[in-house]
Structure 1
Amino acid sequence: MSDLGALSVIFDLDGTLVDSEPNYYEASRQTLAEHGVPGFTWAEHESYVGISTQETVTLWRERYGLRAPVDELLEATNRRYLELARTRTRAYPEMRKFLELLAAEGVPTAVASGSSPEAIEAILAGTGLGAYLRTVVSTDEVPHGKPAPDVFLEAARRLGAHPADCVVLEDAAPGAAAAHAAGMRCIAIPYVAAQADAPGFATAALLLRGGQAEFTAQSAYAWLRATAQPR
């Protein structure tokens, strides 16, 4: 029997389980260049980490004065991203080990992501991580994206778990804020280290300021075990 009590673990996908941001950056760079915005930099891209692609392209229209409709920008960016995601997405090795540890203990796990269902499917199939997950939820399937709690609450519902028994792993401040709003504990692993002091991370139960460089499967598992609630 697991010594983790009634625990369920919910993972963000992009920047948490997998390093997909380079693919999002390249898809964004190509789309913006096509619409007359050359020279989109990685530093500019970092400001969009943690929000949905639809929200991102909406902000582009305001920031860069784009005339193309949101739906057109979204379709172009998603199409380019999917092409990259299928073959160029790298799973973080320690996250894969962590999923394996949880699976061995029979801990229910899920992904709750701001990406589209198609993008999530492509990444999980390409990396093989889908084999460890009981359910997957996209922001497209709920009324509101992060920092609203909807996607995490839906993941808990599908797992048959009480929110208080769920721990979320997140790399972005809006996601950490969403976990708190859902009544869940959060292990925060900032993708952008300079954003570790963002207000959204302040409520995290465990904040790894150094991001993935500080995360290990064994230490995360030990933390879960030490803080587990009895069945």
Structure 2
Amino acid sequence: MTPRQIMASRPALHVIFDLDGTLVDSEANYYEAGRRMLARYGVTDFSWEDHTRFIGIGTRETVTTLRAEYGIDAPVDELLAGKNELYLELAGTSTEVFGQMRVFVERLHADGVPMAVASGSSRAAIGAVLAVTGLDAYIPLYVSAEEVAHGKPEPDVFLETARRMGAEPADCVVLEDAAPGAAAAHAAGMDCIAVPYVPATASDPAFEAAGLVFPEGQSAFTAEAAYDWLRGGPGPATASGASGPRT
């Protein structure tokens, strides 16, 4: 299928990035923060496999579910504050930007394309990660799911981000690594470039509406392929590991 002519049909193109697992490789930090937080309340068997269930889900929603599953009596706000504190300690020293994502951001910035981050993380966490990685020089605007009524897979955080950018949802393209985020982008009326953090999830129905999918995840993502697709070029037809809109 021929890629859609986004640049031609959307002269006011805006790009919205998810943060964790999309721009930065932070899931290991979130897992470790969650593991340490749960250990404070006697939960010692929280595994990476347990954590992967929550990739793409906001931090508040995650701790709310964990509180119920493990029968923790502490209030959600206490758990949330504890996890955020632990995450910020880790993020300040060991957050890496995916190499091709940095190239992509820099290229969009050079072209004057407005960008923002919309994430399920707290505002403090988003700001800290953007600052420590230097991405704040390119992406000054960010919105946390804390600031809207509902987190992903609901569209609220993307719609609020578009509002703050002064953009129509139809003029926005979202980059996402998780099925809930891809579903949220679709619900917001936005196109999506999907780069699954867990390649095994690439077949999730939520990714089917994405305009461009890299089924093998970050190992297959290239700034050139994504940029060419945004321009309406042959990116999906020529990029290894990428596929265009599914039918």
TM-score range, shorter chain: over 0.9
Which residue, 96, 102, 126 being the options, matches 1:120?
A: 126
Q: Which residue of 1 aligns with 2:245?
A: none
> Which amino acid in the other structure matches residue 123 of structure 1?
V
Aligned-residue offset at 1:5: 2.5
**SS of alignment partner, residue 230 of structure 2:** helix
Match among 56, 60, 77 for residue 54 of structure 1: 60
Query: Using the alignment, how far apart are the partners of 2:82 and 2:167 within structure 1?
Result: 37
Q: Confirm or deny that 1:24 pairs with 2:68.
A: no
Asked if 1:222 is matched to 2:228, the reply is yes
For residues 108 and 71 of structure 1, the distance between their equivalents in structure 2, rounded to whole angstroms, comes to 34
Pairing partner for 1:65 from 61, 71, 78: 71
CA positional deviation for 1:109: 0.5
State the aligned residue count: 226
Aligned sequence identity (%): 63
- CA offset at residue 199 of structure 1? 2.3
Q: For structure 2, which runs of at least 5 residues remain unmatched after alignment?
A: 1-6, 234-247
Give the counterpart letter for 2:145 in structure 1.
T
State TM-score, norm by structure 2.
Answer: 0.88
More deviation, 169-178/60-69: 60-69
Between the aligned partners of 1:44 and 1:99, the Cα distance in structure 2 is 31
Distance (whole Å) between structure 1 residues aligned to residue 152 and residue 82 of structure 2: 23
- Once the two structures are TM-superposed, the CA of residue 201 in structure 1 deviates from its matched residue by 1.4
Supply the RMSD in Å over aligned alpha carbons: 1.3
**What is residue 109 of structure 2 aligned with on the other side?**
103
- How does 1:188-227 map onto structure 2 within 5 Å? 188-226=194-232
Q: CA contact under 8 A between 1:113 and 1:139: conserved in structure 2?
A: yes
Please give the TM-score of this superposition, normalised by the length of structure 1.
0.94
- 1:80 maps to 2:86: yes
Match of 1:13 in 2: 19
Q: CA deviation at 1:39?
A: 2.5
CA contact (8 A) 1:134 1:159 kept: no
Gap regions ≥5 residues in structure 1: none
> Structure 1 residue 141: deviation in Å?
1.1
Alignment-mate amino acid for residue 98 of structure 1: F
Q: In structure 2, what is the Cα distance between the partners aligned to 1:143 and 1:32?
A: 26
Which amino acid counterpart does residue 168 of structure 1 have in structure 2? Answer: V
SS in 1 for 2:231: helix
Cα shift at 1:134: 4.4
